[in-house]
Amino acid sequence: MTDLLNRVQLNTPEHKLVKEGIISDYLNHIMKDNADNSEGQTAQYISALRDADPEPFATALCTLDGRIYSAALGGTFNDAGVAADQVEFTIQSISKPFVYALALQEHGIDELVKVVGMEPSGEAFNELSLEGDTNRPVNPMINAGAITVNQLINGSESTVEDRVAKIHSFMNQLAGRELTLDKKTAESEMESSDRNLALAHMLRSYHIIQDQAEDAVNSYVQQCSILVTVRDLAVMGATLASGGVQPLTGRRVMDQSVARQVQSVMASAGMYNAAGRWMASVGIPAKSGVAGGVLGTLPGQLGLSSFSPKLDEHGNSVRGVRVFQRLSNDMGLHLMAPDPRGRASVRSLTEDSHTDETIVRLQGDIDFIGGERLYRTLSEHELKHKKLVFDMTRVDGVNPVGCRMLNNGIEQLREEGYEVRIEDPEGWLKLKDAYLAGDGV
């Protein structure tokens, strides 16, 4: 597994050639453009957040091979002399996708859908709403769903302490470091938790959760009070984007199917009643928190994050939303506007009359579209020789579908009497065995 990962990592762009400054400078630049925006206010209903410094402004990116770029606006320092990209803030609702991941990992999707749905609610994060016929919360990103999911961790008999400890330890694995739980913020939120308590009572009355309402909210509020920096969030986002492999430690912390499920729900419900507009204008699965953090994941590419505490009427960071819009536009990150891929998987097809061989040179990433292009090229071309060479020296990556298509195609050609030779120094075709073993690199 690690060997395969290393190989995949070797094929990512050579980041050492990129001057780190260029990317961090760019992040700084887009923050400067939004620095004058003083709209919104800190979360008023939690005293610890209401009184927080509203000024820190930071952004971070993390690639799937663990390179982190971060920028703090003009090197802003808080009273303690800490730059904004090192400032810790409570994760709040950004914990929801990760605790959902942990619950999926512990119980599987079939158990989860019994108690929480996956439809966007179109409602505020703390709305008192349940699905009409099943009484389930509609998704795990709104508070009703998140309280329900929290209760699944460590089984229904768990104490609050053990449940929180399990969540905390999972968050540590995701961030790749020991995170702190901010008891003060948790306590201050408990003082104004009428709404979440109402939700918990409602969930209990429908037997969706079993614990006492007070305990359920206490456990959920603690999960929200884990301290992170923008850099942590970017790494945690990259873990989802990579399909579950933590980019700094190289450890698989969740199954690929779990990462897929979590990001799908983030895409449709992560930004609450602004989710539709967010998807259209930014096009990145995301989750916001009322302490001012925003987390984004670009599947297969990046984790992104921002921090700025003043919120809009949906509870999303005002400057964070702007920064994501800029990043998405400037860097072409919108999921629905990808560059065409795999078009040029066949670099050349040459008939060599000296060696009596047909040489097919492949390149780039071979996925379904790449495989289709190869099949089409072979079927449209009248092969002159019975000897075929597939040269894969310039292939950068092969996904499970591309791998299967290549192997099946080669097998078929051999059955048809072709003598097929493969030049595959990176061993891409051998990934078939790993893919079959469900290793899902």
Task: Please answer whether residues 314 and 271 qualify as being in contact, where contact means their C-beta atoms are separated by less than 8 angstroms.
Answer: yes
Distance (Å, whole) CA 50 – CA 45: 7
- Residue whose CB is less far from ligand GLN, 93 or 148: 93
Q: Minimum distance between the CB of residue 140 and ligand GLN, rounded to whole angstroms?
A: 13
Rg from Cα positions in the chain: 24
Give the one residue of 58, 290, 359, 388 binding ligand GLN; rule: CB under 6 A: 290
Distance (Å, whole) CA 253 – CA 185: 28
**Dihedral angle at the C-alpha atoms of 28, 333, 243, 303, nearest 10 degrees?**
10
Query: Which residues ranging from 138 to 177 are in contact with ligand GLN (CB under 6 A)?
Result: 143
Q: Minimum distance between the CB of residue 90 and ligand GLN, rounded to whole angstroms?
A: 8
Residue with the closest Cβ to ligand GLN? 93
Task: Please answer whether residues 93 and 141 qualify as being in contact, where contact means their C-beta atoms are separated by less than 8 angstroms.
Answer: yes
- Select from 293, 351, 325 the least CA-distant residue to 88: 293
User: For 99-108, b where at least 16 C-beta lie within 10 A, e where not — what string?
Assistant: bbbbbbbebe
Q: Minimum distance between the CB of residue 275 and ligand GLN, rounded to whole angstroms?
A: 13
Give the one residue of 315, 342, 397, 400 binding ligand GLN; rule: CB under 6 A: 315
Q: Minimum distance between the CB of residue 267 and ligand GLN, rounded to whole angstroms?
A: 17
Distance (Å, whole) CA 361 – CA 393: 8
- Residue whose CB is less far from ligand GLN, 104 or 221: 221
- Residue whose CB is less far from ligand GLN, 28 or 143: 143
Task: Please answer whether residues 320 and 290 qualify as being in contact, where contact means their C-beta atoms are separated by less than 8 angstroms.
Answer: no
Give the one residue of 247, 289, 296, 370 binding ligand GLN; rule: CB under 6 A: 289
- Select from 38, 24, 23 the least CA-distant residue to 75: 24
Distance (Å, whole) CA 7 – CA 199: 48
Q: Minimum distance between the CB of residue 219 and ligand GLN, rounded to whole angstroms?
A: 12
Q: Minimum distance between the CB of residue 189 and ligand GLN, rounded to whole angstroms?
A: 6
Give the one residue of 149, 216, 224, 240 binding ligand GLN; rule: CB under 6 A: 224
Task: Please answer whether residues 154 and 162 qualify as being in contact, where contact means their C-beta atoms are separated by less than 8 angstroms.
Answer: yes
Q: Minimum distance between the CB of residue 390 and ligand GLN, rounded to whole angstroms?
A: 52
- Residue whose CB is less far from ligand GLN, 69 or 125: 125
- Residue whose CB is less far from ligand GLN, 221 or 253: 221
- Residue whose CB is less far from ligand GLN, 136 or 287: 287
- Residue whose CB is less far from ligand GLN, 196 or 239: 196
Q: Minimum distance between the CB of residue 95 and ligand GLN, rounded to whole angstroms?
A: 8
Query: Which residues ranging from 39 to 98 are in contact with ligand GLN (CB under 6 A)?
Result: 92-93
Six-digit token string for 288: 């916001």
If one asks whether residue 317 binds ligand GLN (CB under 6 A), the answer comes out as no
Distance (Å, whole) CA 36 – CA 63: 29
- Residue whose CB is less far from ligand GLN, 92 or 239: 92
Residues in binding contact with ligand GLN, number by CB under 6 A: 12
Q: Minimum distance between the CB of residue 92 and ligand GLN, rounded to whole angstroms?
A: 3
- Residue whose CB is less far from ligand GLN, 49 or 174: 49
- Residue whose CB is less far from ligand GLN, 182 or 367: 182
Distance (Å, whole) CA 441 – CA 432: 11
Task: Please answer whether residues 139 and 118 qualify as being in contact, where contact means their C-beta atoms are separated by less than 8 angstroms.
Answer: yes
- Residue whose CB is less far from ligand GLN, 83 or 224: 224
Distance (Å, whole) CA 259 – CA 261: 6
Query: Which residues ranging from 170 to 199 are in contact with ligand GLN (CB under 6 A)?
Result: 189, 196
Q: Minimum distance between the CB of residue 315 and ligand GLN, rounded to whole angstroms?
A: 5
- What x-and-dash track marks residues 111-130 binding ligand GLN by CB under 6 A? --------------xx----
Q: Minimum distance between the CB of residue 143 and ligand GLN, rounded to whole angstroms?
A: 5
> For binding to ligand GLN (CB under 6 A), which residues are involved?
92-93, 125-126, 143, 189, 196, 221, 224, 289-290, 315
